[in-house]
A and B are shown apart, each in its own frame.
Chain A
Amino acid sequence: MEISNLPISPSIRSKLLSKGYTSLSSLSSISPSFLAQELSVKLEEAVEVLRAVSDTTTSKSAHIPNGIIPGAVTAWDMLSEEQMQRHISTGCEDLDAILGGGIHCKEVTEVGGVPGIGKTQLGIQLAVNVQIPVEYGGLGGKAVYIDTEGSFMAERAYQIAEGCIYDILDKFPSNSREFLSCKERLQVNNFLAGIFYFRICSYTEQIAVINYLENFLTEHGDVKLVIIDSVTFHFRQDFDDLAQRTRVLGGLSLRLMKLSKMFNLAVVLLNQVTTKFTDGSFQLTLALGDSWSHSCTNRIILHWNGNERCAYIEKSPSVASASAPYLVTGKGIRGINSNFKRARIM
């Protein structure tokens, strides 16, 4: 990597080149005051340049096979960490099973489908399920819901929270002391108060809120889920320059991945569907293009299979591609079998 690739401003770069500093090694043993004098810039700017140089050279030393690299972890440590991770249940047992427990934290999951298939329903269900207390098998965290289309309905969130609490109390009828204290927290109003809702009206605001999330999440440390519903809407309307759109989206997805790893939370992005011309015919595919399809860690497509709604895992680094049917009921997203169980008891 040479001078031309350093992250410094163009005027300083041109000064370096005009004075003959063309490679990093030429800057490796210069003091800041000397450099400041040479380039006739301020001392602070010279310090910045040398810092940029040292940053790039330390990452180059990653090629040293024996050294312990700062910031890296061994695969064994990652495995033990992953096994202790809790997952966010989707409400449907079959879908949780094929996902390996539920939506993973520290990963970005993209969910897409045709209109009316249940993407917003799944989003609201996850925002409720993430708040299930740890004693009942959940994460006990809060949720950030970024709404770009205005599809979040508070009344529906109320219904889903009610249904979730009802099912928890059904499954854990124990009255022991530990559970009694949690039971007080199991109020619908608490669940609703644990959803932080942002209404976004343009792609500028969408970029702004994702940038702002870092500060927000530092303040609200108990947020364990960020949902964006939907990530596509504004980017399909106003962007004329598609190349710029791809770059901006790339920046967004990197930032979201960084947030998910830094704050140990799950990021779920809801996407729309479009038609693409491949193999001589039009096919349905998720919107925002091919470059975007690489940005997310996991990809789930919700589709109609005859008269049933199905979720298909199209892309995941850790689980196999599989399909699971699910229902959208008055209480939220549920599996096919859960209704039958209730019927038999009755």
Chain B
Amino acid sequence: MANKLISQMGLPPSLSHVFSARNILTAKDALSLPETDLMALLDIDIALVRSAVASISEATCPPFQTGLALLEEKMKSGGHLSTLLPGLDNALCGGIPFGALTELVGPSGIGKTQFCLKLALLAALPECYGGLNGRVIYIDTESKFSSRRMIEIGEGSFPQIFRLQGLAQKMAGRIIVTRPTSISEFNDSLQQMKLTLLQNEVKLLIVDSIVALVCWDNEKGTISSRQSPLRGSLSFLKSIAEFSRVPVVVTNQVRSHSSDDTFHYIFKGHRKDTSNSERSESHLTAALGIQWAHAVTIRLIFEAHSGHRFIKVAKSPISPPVAFPFVVESSGITLLNQEGISVAGSEINAIRCKGCNILTQ
């Protein structure tokens, strides 16, 4: 919509000639300038500028829907990819939502890729088995995708399906794995994907992991430069998700929680928080910073402490803060407790990794 051409908006011809003469061709060009700048650039008076901007805005503005129409549309088209983990599905009101960005964050080796493999399988399955009967695009930046492991998960979770001849091959044939080696390759494949998503009935997009791309390009990254290569990709991923109504799952890594990270608001004053120094040894924080944390719709934190691993629903517009203990078996991830443990307060955002490192046990 932003690139809609002014010449096609039905403005009076004299006006649209003035715009194109000054090289203001799309709605984006016209609306990015304040009205006084436009007036100076186009050499027409302010009332005419105002009415032109009003017509351009009306043409560029997307149509509205009522909340009721939204709900009805969602009821009709499904709207969730069930993870087959009943506790998590309940918490997320159906599963991984379509059209939104879901992030899995956790320390290495905790089970994020296992979760992604199972999701990929679930999306490829026919609808009678609870799947989406579609293709899956798996963007693997760290070469973690193991088809053998995926077939093993399939055989463990759906033994009756996978014993049928040829079905394993068909399922595996629906999962497309791509391994970009740089940010520009990644962006290129995203661009191409926008068209193919609809044409080829892709029902799930997984990026595992998104951080690796940034680390390659930027060895001495400060906070600002670490975020800039991803800025374009981030809004593009979100728009792909919205546009084609597919779930997009992204994996993120963690980094250690240094004292610089305990940011406070100015009005809170400088408080000496002595408890933090003990926690910071084993506390981790998600990579990519706070701008990324704002941009994702749902954040699932994978962490380990007191001898168990947990999936926490840390950020979600629709779920209360709960944690589910889980284990990784041959059939993928299984929840040990379907009701979940309620987590109070800001603990839901903490990522812990005690008991994961065999060297310190």
Q: A: which residues have CB within 8 A of B?
A: 7-12, 45, 48, 114-116, 120-121, 127, 144-145, 149-159, 189, 191-205, 207-212, 214-216, 230, 232-234, 236-238, 244, 247-248, 250-251, 272-275, 278, 282-285, 301, 303-304, 306-308, 312, 314, 321, 328-330
Bound: A216/B63 CA distance, A: 11
Q: Tell me if B's interface is mostly helix, strand, loop or mixed.
A: helix
Bound: A155/B71 CA distance, A: 7
**Closest residue of B by beta carbon distance from A200:** B62
Q: Which residues of chain A have C-beta atoms less than 8 A from B291's C-beta?
A: 236, 272, 274
Contact flag A158-B294 (CB < 8 Å), given A195-B66, A237-B235, A306-B345: no
B247 CB-CB contact with A under 8 Å = no
**Closest residue of A by beta carbon distance from B71:** A154
Bound: A210/B27 CA distance, A: 14
User: Quick check: B99 and A158 within 8 Å, CB to CB?
Assistant: no
Q: Tell me if A's interface is mostly helix, strand, loop or mixed.
A: mixed
Contact flag A8-B45 (CB < 8 Å), given A154-B74, A197-B70, A233-B295: yes
Q: Which residues of chain A have C-beta atoms less than 8 A from B295's C-beta?
A: 149, 233
**Closest residue of B by beta carbon distance from A309:** B345
User: Quick check: B67 and A155 within 8 Å, CB to CB?
Assistant: no
User: Quick check: A197 and B57 within 8 Å, CB to CB?
Assistant: no
Q: Which of B235, B296, B345 is close to A234, meaning CB atoms less than 8 Å apart?
A: B235
Q: Which residues of chain A have C-beta atoms less than 8 A from B27's C-beta?
A: 204, 208
Contact with A along B221-235 (1 / 0, CB 8 A): 001000000011011
Considering the complex, which residues of chain B in the window 228-267 have a beta carbon less than 8 Å from any beta carbon of chain A?
A: 231-232, 234-235, 238-239, 241-242, 260, 263-267
User: Quick check: B2 and A116 within 8 Å, CB to CB?
Assistant: no
Contact with A along B34-73 (1 / 0, CB 8 A): 1111011011111100000110111011101111101100
User: Quick check: B263 and A198 within 8 Å, CB to CB?
Assistant: no
B346 CB-CB contact with A under 8 Å = yes
Q: Which residues of chain A have C-beta atoms less than 8 A from B46's C-beta?
A: 7-8
Bound: A235/B295 CA distance, A: 13
Bound: A193/B33 CA distance, A: 35
Q: Which of A238, A247, A282 is close to B34, meaning CB atoms less than 8 Å apart?
A: A247
B334–chain A nearest beta-carbon distance, Å:
26
Q: Which of A10, A208, A304 is close to B60, meaning CB atoms less than 8 Å apart?
A: A208
Bound: A159/B318 CA distance, A: 9
Considering the complex, which residues of chain B in the window 290-307 have a beta carbon less than 8 Å from any beta carbon of chain A?
A: 290-291, 293-297, 299
User: Quick check: A115 and B1 within 8 Å, CB to CB?
Assistant: no
User: Quick check: A215 and B39 within 8 Å, CB to CB?
Assistant: no
User: Quick check: B294 and A233 within 8 Å, CB to CB?
Assistant: yes
Question: Which 10 residue pairs are nearest across A and B when measured between Cβ atoms?
Answer: A307-B345, A211-B57, A204-B2, A195-B67, A208-B60, A116-B315, A192-B67, A154-B71, A208-B57, A192-B68
User: Quick check: A248 and B34 within 8 Å, CB to CB?
Assistant: yes
For the side of the interface on B, what is the size category? 35 or more
Bound: A236/B68 CA distance, A: 31
User: Quick check: A193 and B66 within 8 Å, CB to CB?
Assistant: yes
Q: Which residues of chain B have C-beta atoms less than 8 A from A284's C-beta?
A: 263-266
Contact sample, A vs B, 6 pairs, CB 8 Å cutoff: A7-B39, A192-B70, A197-B70, A202-B28, A283-B266, A307-B344
Q: Which of B35, B40, B238 is close to A251, meaning CB atoms less than 8 Å apart?
A: B35
Q: Which residues of chain A have C-beta atoms less than 8 A from B223's C-beta?
A: 275
User: Quick check: B318 and A198 within 8 Å, CB to CB?
Assistant: no
**Closest residue of B by beta carbon distance from A120:** B317
Q: Which residues of chain A have C-beta atoms less than 8 A from B2's C-beta?
A: 201-205
With A211-B54, A308-B345, A321-B267 given, can you name 10 additional A-B contacts, CB distance below 8 Å?
A152-B70, A155-B71, A192-B66, A204-B28, A207-B57, A209-B57, A244-B33, A301-B265, A307-B344, A307-B346
Q: Which residues of chain A have C-beta atoms less than 8 A from B67's C-beta?
A: 127, 145, 154, 157, 191-195, 197
A4–chain B nearest beta-carbon distance, Å:
12
User: Quick check: A205 and B294 within 8 Å, CB to CB?
Assistant: no
B275–chain A nearest beta-carbon distance, Å:
11
User: Quick check: A251 and B34 within 8 Å, CB to CB?
Assistant: yes
Contact flag A9-B43 (CB < 8 Å), given A115-B315, A154-B71, A157-B67: yes
User: Quick check: B60 and A285 within 8 Å, CB to CB?
Assistant: no
Q: Which residues of chain B have C-beta atoms less than 8 A from A115's C-beta?
A: 290, 293-294, 296, 299, 315
Q: Which residues of chain B have C-beta atoms less than 8 A from A251's C-beta?
A: 34-35
Contact with A along B187-201 (1 / 0, CB 8 A): 000000000000000
B347 CB-CB contact with A under 8 Å = yes
Bound: A290/B93 CA distance, A: 39
